[in-house]
Amino acid sequence: MKQPLSLIVGSSILGAGILFSQISGYKNTPIIPGTPYHVHDNERPQPRVVQASGAVEVKPPSDALVLFDGKNVDAWTSAKGGQAPWEVRDGAMIAKETDIRSKEEFGALQLHFEWRLPADRKVSGQGGGNSGVFLMGLYEIQILQSHNNKTYPDGQATALYGQLSPLVNATSPQGEWNSYGITFTPPVYEGEKVVTPAKVTVIHNGVVVQNNEPFIGPTTHKKLAAYPPKHPTTGPLRLQFHGDPVEFRNIWVRPLGVRDEAE
């Protein structure tokens, strides 16, 4: 996201008693309920670094809906409508021009994909290696080149963007593939009231980084998320174009049904 303050501005405000570190972050944002931290707080503790063994490549099971198999972007459209403009090269699709969304819509799901950022790309904080996957088109799990790249922790790889940092930082070195294994359940409403929030589990390179965590509401930037009175039951996956050529491969989804359902 945007760099909110130059160091010069930061140090003049520092004189006014507000502390800024060199990690770009925010202090003029709301406090996240149940925490002492602001939305995008640069003083939220940095997640412990775990050296994972790289992407876990899981082939799609027989009942998966394959959204990208290395060949074309036919399962996707531009978020602005029309043909998805992302490029396919060497079995990967590369973020370009605009967000894309899946033609198919989902509620509860299991999602697998792999991503990487080219090794020669210059990265700094939120800049250079940023994308994201929006579940139901609304709830962002952040994609960020977070190996040796500090940012505000609720904006690093696998964060519930603007809400919750991951348990640990398991991001692969730049240029190497990462895997995300995600399970998601939409919020449950009674009338216009949320009785169970949307929840997500994320396994990053084989490491659990989000363990059935609730979203405060659909993803926002610099604001406190909140659930709307009306909510769709399904929505597309949206992949973010944040100006950076993030590459994706092996994308598949299994909509999650109910137990004991007759075949």
The contact set with Mg ion (CB under 5 A) reads: 130, 132, 142, 240
Q: How near is the Cβ of 127 to Mg ion at its closest, in Å?
A: 11
Q: How far is CA 262 from CA 52, 185, 255, 258, in A?
A: 39, 22, 16, 10
Measured between alpha carbons, how far is 141 from 219 in angstroms, rounded to an integer? 9
Taking the CA atoms of 25, 180, 209 and 186 in sequence, report the sign of the dihedral they define. Answer: positive
Q: How near is the Cβ of 144 to Mg ion at its closest, in Å?
A: 7
CB-nearer residue toward Mg ion: 156 or 250: 156
Q: How near is the Cβ of 63 to Mg ion at its closest, in Å?
A: 29
What is the torsion angle, in degrees rounded to the nearest 10, for the CA atoms of residue 54, residue 175, residue 158 and residue 259? Answer: -50
CB-nearer residue toward Mg ion: 143 or 194: 143
Q: How near is the Cβ of 220 to Mg ion at its closest, in Å?
A: 13
Asked if 91 and 85 touch (Cβ cutoff 8 Å), the reply is no
CB-nearer residue toward Mg ion: 142 or 165: 142
According to DSSP, the β-strands at 139-144 and 130-135 are antiparallel
CB-nearer residue toward Mg ion: 47 or 194: 47
CB-nearer residue toward Mg ion: 142 or 174: 142
Shortest Cβ contact with Mg ion: which residue? 132
Measured between alpha carbons, how far is 242 from 244 in angstroms, rounded to an integer? 6
Q: How near is the Cβ of 242 to Mg ion at its closest, in Å?
A: 5
